[in-house]
Amino acid sequence: MSLFGGLLSVKGVMFLIFSVSVVIVSGYALGRIKIKGVSLGAAGVFITALIFGCFFGGALSSTLPGAADSLKLIENIGLVMFVCSVGFLAGPGFFSNLKRNFKSYVVLALVLVLTGGLTCAACILIGRNFTALDGKQFTAMLVGLLSGALTSTPSFSAAKATAAGISPELEDLITVGHGIAYLFGVIGIVIFVQLIPKLLKADMAKEREILKAGLVTADEKKRTAGSFQLDRYGFTPFFIVAALGVLIGSFKVFNFSLTVTGGCLLTSLLFGHFGHIGKLSVTPSEKTLKTFRELGLILFLTGAGIAGGANFVKYFNAVYFIYGIIMTLVPLTVGFVFAKFVLKMKLLDSLGAISGGRTSTPALGALIESSGTEDVGAPYAAAYPVALVAVVIVSEALILIFGR
């Protein structure tokens, strides 16, 4: 890319670094803008990344062969950093909290996923009479929209694998649908977890106390007392967990895997729970974890946003975008109402579990920022595994029922 009349030329990897830096700086600036107390926060990075991808994605690809792979690498490094940090921070009281609130977390996660599946099925049944696509094609498109609305990579991958057994053509339609709905899937839930407390006029300080009282926590000093670390920041255990998480997440049983996200979350929860092995500390410092969590989130949003922006303009269709909005908002609304009035869950507990039930990394980041507490990571981590499995099953079932 030539700047200042060709006097300055930025190419290849340097253009990628330049692009990522510009996206992050402008994204944070956008994220700080508040409208009636609601802001995008770190998700502002996703918006600027998407815009950058729309206008400069082609230039990036032309100046850097393999740009798509480089963006995927940035996205996945960010995802691993974010998820491992969340797991370590939630680990000390995770299993006690899960035992105490297991029923609520499982039921809420299932309600969210099943509501999303039923909403998708209803859209298929109603909309197939008003589309130029045939039944198989329309089903593939809407299941792709569902995975994008839920921002769920596992359901996206599972739907593509199932569709490939019917017709390779359907895989492309799933990809298109996922790309169309992903934008509002990210932004919708980020705004939702901030808007609900505003609408309820919640006292956030009081809500933090209520959440903390209902959780089991471990004192940082007690967990590390008498332990020694291999390095002063705890980088070593962090990256041991990252490596183990990637391996565990890649292991398949009957064509199902936890994915990198699930593997890293499980491993970091275990390490965070035990804290040390003998005298050896296996927990990074809290400062390191909070830094990695934030850095990981913005890298994930940057990589996903730039890559998504390049495809968004190409595939955008207003009708399908509306379907995506419906599949985003209906499960969120039903899930929150169910959590509040049926399960009687407290505000931050329910919003954390909803973020996990939607397997939404950006939503958790926004909720931590808006609530002012790391404790929302505990319900997120508890609901996440249930939703991970359920959303894969639902996506595959929709393809098999309506796509044949």
> Is 236 inside any structural domain?
yes
- What is the number of helices (H) and of strands (E) in the chain? 15, 8
Whether pLDDT at 111 is above 90: yes
> Is 42 inside any structural domain?
no
> Is 257 inside any structural domain?
yes
Which range of residues forms the domain containing residue 336?
81-294+317-402
Look at residue 3 in the predicted model and tell me its pLDDT.
52
Q: Which has the minimum average pLDDT: 39-48, 237-246, 261-270, 303-312?
A: 303-312
> Is 3 inside any structural domain?
no
Q: Quote the tokens at residue 329.
A: 């908002």
* Closest C-alpha among 324, 298, 372 to residue 44: 298
**What sign results for the dihedral spanned by CA atoms 386, 86, 218, 355?**
negative
Whether pLDDT at 119 is above 90: yes
> In which band, very low, low, confident or very high, does the pLDDT at 4 lie, cut at 50, 70 and 90?
very low
pLDDT digits (tens, 9 = 90+) for 54-76: 888 877 887 878 888 888 889 88
Q: What is the mean predicted confidence (pLDDT) over 277-298?
A: 87
pLDDT digits (tens, 9 = 90+) for 365-377: 888 888 888 888 8
> Is 91 inside any structural domain?
yes
> Is 36 inside any structural domain?
no
> Is 11 inside any structural domain?
no
pTM of the full structure: 0.74
pLDDT digits (tens, 9 = 90+) for 142-169: 998 998 898 776 677 667 767 777 777 7
367 to each of 62, 63, 196, 200, 394, how far by Cα in Å?
Answer: 37, 37, 11, 16, 26
128 to each of 53, 139, 150, 222, 395, how far by Cα in Å?
Answer: 32, 8, 21, 59, 18
Contact 112, 330 (CB under 8 A): no
232 to each of 23, 155, 298, how far by Cα in Å?
Answer: 31, 39, 25
Alpha carbon distance 128, 181 (integer Å):
18
Domain tally for the chain? 1
> Is 176 inside any structural domain?
yes
